[in-house]
Structure 1
Amino acid sequence: MATNNKCILAYGLDQEQIDKIKGQNIKVIEVNNKMALMKIEDIINGNTNDNSYDELPLNEKALIFNGFKDEQLKVTIRYIRGFVQGGVLAISTPQNYRWTFSYLLEHLIEEREWFKEQQKGRK
């Protein structure tokens, strides 16, 4: 498990947003379609797999946090939300380490949409 490797897996951010995060001395791993079918753990550990291509959703943003302590996580998310609107956020867990990035992203989007549906009509 890669819990000690503090980093953020980032998908769908522009270079300026990535540079702002890196400016806080945070390692950012930019995820792309060539990494979509790789397991979260393999991406974090820097493993490569040439057979991992899949189409990820366009116009979607995702940030997966790995190895952050609670207080660091709160501060980092608050900072990032100052310039990244929308998208999905998650923390790597022992369960999702074995998931592919594509599967995790799909799961997070479905979860977000479910919560949006639950909020309809509530004020």
Structure 2
Amino acid sequence: MAISDRCILAYGLKQEEIKKIESQNIKVIEINNDTALMKLEDIICEKTNENSYDELPLNEKALIFNGFKEQQLKVTIRYIRGFIQGGVLAVSTTQNYKWTFKYLLEHLVEEREWFETQKKNN
């Protein structure tokens, strides 16, 4: 799989949620503790790494969009938000391709918590 191929890296979703996304002809790559320490680019290119295990938070959901054009992204997010509430959403970038999934997830959760705190303080 090329790095620009359209797919979603999904963590913490139920099987029926994944099937709904796949019904839109979108490839879903499921993330779990076994792939937590893999870099996004390796996950997207479907490389394997034996030493990538780490614990990810059980109560979190994450969707990382790769290779979507802007309009496709808007439509897809609107569709997904129809049946998945909460969680963090992000788009893969040239910078975060080098990050491990766990690092990106921690960064996104931190960012969300910062924004929620700012909202409460205003």
Q: TM-score range by the shorter chain?
A: over 0.9
- Aligned amino acid, residue 67 of structure 1: G
**Partners of 2:100 and 2:121 in 1: how far apart?**
34
Deviations 1:60-80 (A, max 9, x none): 000000000000000000000
**Partners of 2:44 and 2:57 in 1: how far apart?**
21
CA contact under 8 A between 2:3 and 2:41: conserved in structure 1? no
- Aligned amino acid, residue 42 of structure 1: D
The two structures have a TM-score, normalised by structure 2, of 0.97
Query: What corresponds to 2:48 in structure 1?
Result: 48
- Aligned amino acid, residue 79 of structure 1: Y
How large is the Cα RMSD of the aligned pairs?
A: 0.7
Deviations 1:36-69 (A, max 9, x none): 0000000000000010000000110000000000
Matched residue count: 121
- Aligned amino acid, residue 44 of structure 2: I
The two structures have a TM-score, normalised by structure 1, of 0.96
Query: What corresponds to 1:108 in structure 2?
Result: 108
Unaligned 5+ runs, structure 1? none
Structure 1: which 4+ aligned runs deviate by more than 4 Å? none
Deviations 1:13-57 (A, max 9, x none): 000000000000000000000000000000000000010000000
- Aligned amino acid, residue 42 of structure 2: D
**Partners of 1:80 and 1:54 in 2: how far apart?**
27
1:20 matches 2:24: no
Offset, 1:3: 4.0
The aligned runs of 1:1-123 (5 Å cut-off) are 2-122=2-122
Give the secondary structure class of the aligned counterpart of 1:120: helix
- Aligned amino acid, residue 57 of structure 2: P
Shift of the 47–3 alpha-carbon distance from structure 1 to 2, 3 Å rule, reads closer
- Aligned amino acid, residue 119 of structure 1: K
Give the secondary structure class of the aligned counterpart of 1:19: helix
**Partners of 2:35 and 2:3 in 1: how far apart?**
20
Deviations 1:58-115 (A, max 9, x none): 1100000000000000000000000000000000000000000000000000000000
